[in-house]
Amino acid sequence: MLLGYGPDGPIPGRRVAITGIGVLSCCGVGTEALWTGLNGPAPEGERRVPDFDPSRWFGPKDARHVDRFAQFAVAAAEMALDDAEGLDADPARSGVVIGTGVGGFESLQSQVLVYGEKGARRVSPRLVPMMMSNAGAANVSIRAGWHGPSETITTACAAGTHSIGYAARLVASGRCDVAIGGGSEAAMTEVGIAAFANMTALSTSGHSRPFDRRRDGFVITEGAGALVLEDWDRAVARGARIYGELAGAASSADAHHITAPIPSGSGAAVCMEVAIEDAGLVPGDVAHINAHGTSTPLNDKAEAQAITTVFGSPGPVVTSTKGITGHGLGAAGAIEAVAAVLTIEHRLIPPTVGYEEPDPEIDLDIVTSTARPWEPGPILSNSFGFGGHNGCLVISPA
Amino acid sequence: MSNEETFEKFKEVAVEVLQVPADKVTPDARFAEDLDADSLDLVELVMALEESFDVTVEETELEGIETIGQAYDLIVAKL
Quick: pLDDT tens for A62-75: 999 999 999 999 99
In the predicted structure, residue A18 carries a pLDDT above the cut 80? yes
Helices (H), chain A: 31-38, 60-65, 68-84, 105-118, 127-131, 135-144, 159-172, 190-198, 232-237, 266-278, 297-311, 322-325, 332-346
pLDDT for the residue numbered A168: 99
Tell me what the mean pLDDT of segment B4-33 comes to: 96
Is residue A101 within 8 A of residue A329, CB to CB? The reply is yes
What whole-number distance in Å separates Cα of residue A305 and Cα of residue A340? 22
Portion of chain B with pLDDT greater than 90, in percent: 89
Given CB atoms, is B44 within the 8 Å cutoff of chain A?
yes
Q: Please provide residue A134's backbone torsions phi and psi, each rounded to the nearest 5 degrees.
A: -85, 5
Tell me what the mean pLDDT of segment A98-108 comes to: 98
Question: Tell me, what amino acid is at A91?
Answer: P
A-to-B residue pairs, Cβ atoms closer than 8 angstroms:
18
pLDDT, tens digit, 9 for 90 and up, residues A353-385: 999 999 999 999 999 999 999 999 999 999 999
In the predicted structure, residue B1 carries a pLDDT above the cut 80? no
Q: Which residues contact A20 (CB under 8 A, 6 or more apart)?
A: A80, A81, A82, A83, A84, A85, A87, A226, A227, A228
Tell me what the mean pLDDT of segment A322-349 comes to: 98
Given CB atoms, is B12 within the 8 Å cutoff of chain A?
no
A257 catalytic residue (yes or no):
no
Tell me what the mean pLDDT of segment A157-173 comes to: 98
pLDDT, tens digit, 9 for 90 and up, residues A240-290: 999 999 999 999 999 999 999 999 999 999 999 999 999 999 999 999 999
Residue A297: is it exposed, middle or buried by C-beta count within 10 angstroms (0-12/13-18/19+)?
middle
Q: Which residues contact A155 (CB under 8 A, 6 or more apart)?
A: A99, A162, A251, A385, A387, A389, A391
CB contact under 8 A, A124 and B44: yes
Beta partners for residue A395, in sequence order: A246, A379
Rg (CA), chain B: 11
In the predicted structure, residue A314 carries a pLDDT above the cut 90? no
Confidence tier at B2 by pLDDT (50, 70, 90): confident
Confidence tier at A105 by pLDDT (50, 70, 90): very high
Tell me which chain B residues have a C-beta less than 8 angstroms from the C-beta of A64: 19
CB contact under 8 A, B18 and A125: no
Q: Please provide residue A242's backbone torsions phi and psi, each rounded to the nearest 5 degrees.
A: -105, 115
Portion of chain A with pLDDT greater than 70, in percent: 100
Across chain A, mean pLDDT equals: 97
Q: Which residues contact A276 (CB under 8 A, 6 or more apart)?
A: A248, A282, A283, A285, A286, A310, A380, A394
CB contact under 8 A, B51 and A122: yes
> What pTM did the predictor assign?
0.97
Is residue A143 within 8 A of residue A91, CB to CB? The reply is no
Peptide bond into A54 cis (omega under 30): no
Confidence tier at A127 by pLDDT (50, 70, 90): very high
In the predicted structure, residue A26 carries a pLDDT above the cut 80? yes
Point out the residue among A64, A124, A126 whose CB comes nearest to the CB of B19. A64
CB contact under 8 A, A125 and B50: no
pLDDT for the residue numbered B59: 87
pLDDT for the residue numbered B3: 86
- Give chain B's domains with CATH numbers: 3-76 (1.10.1200.10)
